Structure 1
Amino acid sequence: MHPHKFTLWVAIASILMMFAGLTSAFIVKSNLVGWRTVTMPDVFWISTAVIVASSITMQMAVRAFRQRVMQQYRLLTAITVLLGLGFVVLQYMGFHELWKNNIRFIGASGAGQFLYVIFGLHAIHVIGGMVALVIMFGRAFFGRVKQYSPVPVEVMATYWHFVDILWLYLLVFFLIVG
């Protein structure tokens, strides 16, 4: 296994442990007296469709890169970046709706606090992925290929799929348990 891929899998394992701990704490705390649930904004469903679409275009970009169809790779990378930005904007809109509904971190009790912490940590990981996507996009259009290696593209795709699957897990978790 390539060292970059191994490092990514170690990082993914540690991130999974963090989110497992947070969702476990949510389950334990949800049995306390005075616990308030949160209704998820509908815009989160749209953002879910957008991030799933971005994962599909990311995988198509990997395939195009492996087949050395660089025009298609560039186009699919650009679409993935735009979809990623769309996800971030839709998430912002969802949190703005929560804020309008008086669901805030400070002064909130129950699911609202956990929602901000857990979704906020996911947002940090998505933004990190967006930075990497933009760098990959820049290299696709402006970089010079010294040595053809699909490893960076595969590492980025694996991470992007991970944040996608993590979002799906968190959304389902809050819908079922929250």
Structure 2
Amino acid sequence: MKCLLKAGADPNVPDEFGRMPIEFAAICGPRQDVEILFPLTTRILFVKDWSVNGIMLHACLLPGQEFYESGLEQETARLKLQGKKALEDKDYHSAIKLYTKAMGLEIDDATLYSNRSLCFLQIGDGDKAFADAYTCRMKRPDWPKAWYRLGAAQMFLKACDAFLGGFKIDPGSAEIENALREALNALRISRGAKKT
């Protein structure tokens, strides 16, 4: 949240359901998020007790809370479905954007991290693939696919580091070039067999 605010995000713009960021933070986030937003938020007139505690209480009593939460769930499901379609169409950049938006609504969904990790692998961004795979595994340590994604990302990073390092030293080496090609092909085959 601090990064978003530093980048210029406006804490006084409501979402598509009319909720202010501070209200959303009080509903879905820890108290610390409300404390960060409080001095930057213009007073909401219908909140009687304009304090961090008052906002927390106000958020709990908001009418239509179930509708709001179901709207978030529906939007998350829509984004996940669109992300899956983009992934199937091999439009990895669009899939990454869609999964990232869905994560903004449902940060604890391990499948979003798993799928985005796969997308990052497909575009050759091993560091981001590893970060998402690691997060996926932390969220669902009992899920075999989380471990698979982590292994695929580690294999990609290690293979690329080793073979690219050798190739930089000896760019004319057909042996190193072939080994790199074989490692990447093996990784592609392995990923193709274990798609989402």
TM-score (norm 1): 0.34
Structure (1 or 2) with the larger CA radius of gyration: 2
Q: Work out which structure has the larger RCO, using CA pairs closer than 8 Å and 6 or more positions apart in sequence.
A: 1
TM-score (norm 2): 0.31
Structure with the higher helix share, 1 or 2 = 1
